[in-house]
Each structure stands twice: as structure tokens, then as C-alpha cells.
Chain A
């Protein structure tokens, strides 16, 4: 448009200059006027041109700025499904060769599975032959800038169990972390780890004695942690929760059913060593917590415990990697010790009304006595990774049934005093971080009078999102 108006002016100028030959004063005035017009137009054109040029430059600048900021591939526009949570699925199963024992347990310790035979034990642990463990589905994502959420669903035949479902704070700061929902307690070291992260195919006897066959203490509640602003790792935490799981029991009550406290300290020593030590305490109450006992004649009796249960756990982990590079070779030593005290009443009765020492007339009588126990145990294990694919490990564990004071019921029930022991060796091969095959042998003396040689061939496969593991 600018070009064409210039052309028009040029033509007009040429046309106007022709009559100038006449030299008429009128014409001279006209010429002066046209000259002024021409100058004015040229000024306006120059101004317009300058504006156009600056507009064009600006456009180029914004385009190039956009070009600079857009390229990162990671910031490319993602479809709405980009907001889907990270998903991973854990496949775990095994072949197990061991003795046929009607009711597996740990002699001298109250079975955590309660009195229901079928519920005693999770899939696989007590199954002989081929079996598939529960299949874990993990979903996790940031909820918003303030919270993150994670759910772990365990699928078994005909049921889905909510293993974990919690939210976690991201934005409180000051070293504070708040977690709420169904969560694995921060007690001990192994408790927060999932079975697929275990170094052996089963959990230590200690964890099974403490928390049952799941091998971990999970509760519905809140966890508050604080990490100190020190160069050395120092963390303290507290939990309150429903306390429905063993050693507590489900009950209808306001307020908290269990509370836990823990403290961790850890650091590096040089380039190659790192360690963490911790101490934790769990206190909970049980109401009518039923367990199977044998009466003095060998008949079955049910004992229901009402009272307080408190547990101390001390844990220590040390890891070594040459040059601090664990990829090719590394060693991990891990040990935990516990002590549990329970105090309250034990009611002994006869569930099947068949007649036993507590109910000799099979009339539904029961005997209530005081109950006081103090038990302990420990394990220690070492796992050596000697190539990028191979690891081998050894675990030794021992429990002590300790003192068990059953009061008046001591006359009715057999009070075992025993030191269960188990030695386990394993070797595993990992094709990658996502697949592992493990062979394990255990010399198990956790039941009095029974030495069980247990062979396990186990696979662990994880699909999907790359999980980040704790120390």
C-alpha cells in the first residue's frame, strides 16, 4: 500500500512539473503548494515505514524468543493422559519345596494371624509347590504443588487389598514431612520396604513374630517427620493411627489405637561407606486378640488377650561400594533387634465346646488370668553383589520366647519356652533393574522339634514406571 501511494505521488509530481515550463506566477504558487504537500507526504511515509520496520523486528524477536524457549523436548505439549499417575505393576511368584506342616507358626510366639486357620499366612509364604504372590499395582503422582499421593493395591484371587494409600506433603518445608492414610510405619528398617525390594524371598522371623505374615506394620493414621538441618542425617518421627493390625486389634473406639516414635541417624564415611542407625518404639492396645494355644492335655484352646503391647526396635544398616559406585560390586549389612512387652489379661476358652482345661465341662466356661510377657529377637544379614547381575546373601536369625507369665492360666495352657532359629542363603540374578530370579535355601528351626529344609525359587518382575528406592 505504501509503495503504491509513493508511485501515485511520483506520477503526480511528474504531471505537476510539466506545466512549470510556462513560468506563470500562479503556477509557481501551485508548484510551491504541491512541493509542501510532497514533503508532508514523504514525512508521513517515512514515519509509516519506520513503524512497519519496528513492528516487523518485534515480530521476529518474539518468534525467535519463542523458538529459544520451546525446543526442550521434555516440555512438549502432552495430551491430557500426560496427567495420568505413574503406574507400575509388580509380578511376583515362586516355587517352594518344604515340609507339610498343618499350622505353621513360631514356637513360643503368639501367631499374628489370629485364630482363623485360613487367614494364617499370606499367599505363597506357606504354600508348597508353585504359587503366585499377590500382584501389586502401584499408582503415584503429584496431586498438586502441595501434595503427592500413592496407592498400592494388591490383587489376589477374588479380592483386592489396599496395601497402602496415602498422601504426603511437598510444600511444608522446614524439614517437615506429613503423611496420612494407610501407610507402612517408619518403625525399624525393613518395615517400610516392599516385598519386591527384600533381599530374601521371605521376611525375617522377627518381623513375622512382630507383625504377622505380611512382615510389616501398616496402619491407618498420620505420620509426622522432621529432618534436622544438620550435615549429619538426623530424623525423628511420630505416628498415630487406628492400631487395628497385630499386635493391636480392631475395635470400635474414638481416638488413636496405636502410637509410634522413631529416630534415625546416618552418614557417609569416606567415599565408600554409608550407614544408618535407628531406634523405634510402638505402643498399642489389644482387645480380645484371639490366638490358638494348646492346653496341658494337648487339646485346642483359644486365648484372648486384652491389654497393652509395647515394642522397641533397634536397626542398623551399613553399605559399601568400591569408589562409591554400587553398579558392579557392593555389600550391604543389615541387622535389627526387637524387644516386646505385653501386659494385661488372658481369657482362655473352648471355642469348639469340645472340652479342654479351661472348660472341662464343655459348657462354654472361660478362665481369665493375668498375662505378662517379655520377648526378644534379632536377625543379621549380608548381601554381596559381585557382578552387575549377581548377588549372594546370608541371613541368620534367632528369637527368644523370653518370659511368659500366664498367671492362673499357666496351669491350663502349655507355655512354650523356645529359641527359634533360622539360617538362610540366597543367590539372585538380575537381567536388569526390573527383573530378578532368586534361589533360596533356608534351614528353618522356627518350630520346636522340626527342622525344615526350605527351597524357594522366586521371580520378581516390575513393569512400568521406574520406582525410586529408599536407602
Chain B
């Protein structure tokens, strides 16, 4: 009985000790969104950074230790983290962040995904059954995810629900205005043909109207081969692309090779928050992305 009391006291004190909600975000973009909405009411740990390929993360001990203490796990979903997150969830001993619990939030479940494969066959490369998971590069998706996230934060932390709502309304207002600005700036990009390293810019292209005419990877997740790049060059004659897009975590050799052969500029896009010095937050991410695209167009 005494032991039980002690345990209860311990549990109670540990609850009081961290009043703020602990958020474990798998990728920087959703960590940044949690910070925008949660402000000082949440402490956000971001498991990966912009220089890391989000498909290839290892279930490192440090990630387990952080997941153990999290109240909310924000994942990109759509199997982006299939290679490591399930292990982190299971081995964390944290019941709150298991799939299906309120403490597990998946961004991909909040929006309509593009590139949903009609056929599931690995002969087509590393395909994601649910659709393309790089959904944050359409800013309208960020808003949808934010709407769902603010509800979830409110459920997990009811006393602060109004504060989360207020913070989100403030963010959403600024974000809507920014979308208007970006769309105006990006009007010049409509219909511009581009080559991409990986299918990581599908949502960006869809939003801005960029026309993806080729991919440096022969199949999603398969490294560019010289044969495939040569074939792309041949296509360049008939379907000339204006630029080659790659994310900060992609190797630069294939895109540089194509650029050297064709004279088309390579645009290194930040891809996520922290991917370039200017992409310090979500606003910076899109400001910088548009600026880099427009600069390449000139």
C-alpha cells in the first residue's frame, strides 16, 4: 500500500514537473508547425534534419530515449518512416505514441495524397502504397495539417486548447496572406518544365504548376545510373527542361552532371525547414524556395 502511494506520488510529481507538452516530430517541417501552434506550451524534439534523407534514418538510441518521454508523436506518414519509426514506437515503452492513440498524429492522413500507385510492385522502385509522402511542399496542405494538429493538441492538453486555437488562427492568417504572395510570385513558374532528382517536389510542382518532365532516379529510391541520365539527356532535345531540382539531402553529382551537359541550372531547394540558411522556419522555407526557383528562371 505504501509502495503504491509512493508510486502515485512519483507519477503525480512527474506529471507536474513538465507542464509543457512534449512533441516528437519525425521531420523538421512538422516540428516547425508544432512550434508555430504550440509556442511556449510545447517543447518540440525534431528527430531528423534537412541534410538527412528522411527515408534512411536509423532507430538510434537517442531517438528511443526521446520517444520514451513524448506526449505526441508527429509523423509524416505514408510509409516515409517505415524503416525506423515502427521500431522507435515499439521499443520506446511509451503507450501514448502508439499508432491509433491520440498521441500519434500522421500528417499524410489529413490531406489527399498525390501519386497513389495503381499497382503495388517493387519493380517500380520504392513506391509508397498510400501515396507520395512529401506533402508539405504545397502550403495549402500545411494549413490542413495545422487545422488537424491544433485539434489534436487541444485534445491532449484541454486547458490550453483555446490558446492553441488562438495561436493557430494567428498563424493561419499570416499563412493565408503568404500563400497569396507566393502564388503571385510563382505565377511566372506555371508550365515551366523541370527535371527532379527524386519525387520529393510533386506537391510543389502541383501547386505552382511546374511541369516535371523527368526524374534523375530511374525509379523512386534507386540511385541515378549513367544509362538513365544519358536517356534523359536525349529526351532533353525534344522536351527541354528549364532547371534541375534537388533537395539538400540528395547527392549533387547527378544533377551537376546533367547541368554540365545541358547548361540548365541546378536549383538546390531547401526541401524542409533548415535546408538552407534562409529556411529557418516554414515561411522562410517557401520564401527561399520561390526565390531560388525564380532566380533560376531569369
Contacts and interface: CB of A to CB of B under 8 A. Distances in A.
A431 B60 CA distance: 24
Nearest to A465: B82
Contacts of B69: 229
A446 to B, nearest CB: 32
A348 B66 CA distance: 55
B56 A233 contact: no
A323 B60 contact: no
A186 to B, nearest CB: 11
A173 B58 contact: no
A170 B66 CA distance: 17
Given A325-B52, A434-B122, A73 B130 contact: yes
Contact of A177 (B60, B93, B126): B93
A73 B101 CA distance: 20
Nearest to B101: A145
Contact of A227 (B52, B92, B96): B92
A471 B60 contact: yes
B64 A267 contact: no
B157 interface: no
Contacts of B130: 73-74
Interface in A322-350: 323-328
Contacts of A373: none
Contacts, number: 147
Contacts of B48: 324
B64 A327 contact: no
Interface in A218-234: 225-234
Contacts of B108: 72, 74
Contacts of B106: 74
A74 B80 CA distance: 13
Contacts of B249: 325, 327
A171 B62 contact: no
A468 B56 CA distance: 11
B82 A466 contact: yes
Given A325-B56, A434-B122, A225 B64 contact: no
Nearest to A317: B61
Nearest to A177: B93
A175 B83 contact: no
A100 B66 CA distance: 52
A171 B223 CA distance: 39
Contact of B96 (A173, A231, A471): A173
B19 to A, nearest CB: 16
Chain B at the A interface: SS class: loop
B113 A74 contact: yes
B9 interface: no
B59 A324 contact: no
A142 to B, nearest CB: 8
A326 B112 contact: no
Interface residues of A, number: 56
A443 interface: no
Contacts of B216: none
B86 interface: yes
Contacts of A177: 90-91, 93
Contact of B65 (A173, A232, A468, A469): A232
A126 interface: no
B100 interface: yes
Nearest to B57: A326
Given A171-B95, A173-B95, A324 B68 contact: no
Interface stretch (A41-49, A202-210, A268-276, A280-288): A268-276
Given A323-B51, A326-B56, A173 B61 contact: no
Interface string A151-178: 0000000000000000010111111110
B230 to A, nearest CB: 19
A265 B60 CA distance: 11
B199 to A, nearest CB: 15
Nearest to A329: B251
B51 A325 contact: yes
A328 B95 contact: no
A421 interface: no
Contacts of B96: 173
A267 B61 contact: yes
A266 interface: yes
A33 interface: no
Interface string B101-121: 100001011111100100000
B78 A172 contact: no
6 contacts: A72-B113, A73-B112, A171-B95, A233-B64, A326-B58, A471-B59
Interface of B: 14, 48-49, 51-53, 55-56, 58-62, 64-66, 68-69, 77-79, 82-87, 90-96, 98-101, 106, 108-113, 116, 122, 125-126, 130-131, 221-223, 249, 251
Interface of A: 71-75, 142, 145, 148, 168, 170-177, 225-235, 264-268, 271, 274-276, 319, 323-328, 388-389, 431-434, 466-471
Given A72-B109, A468-B83, A471-B60, 10 more contacts: A72-B110, A72-B113, A177-B90, A227-B65, A229-B68, A233-B62, A271-B49, A274-B62, A324-B48, A328-B251
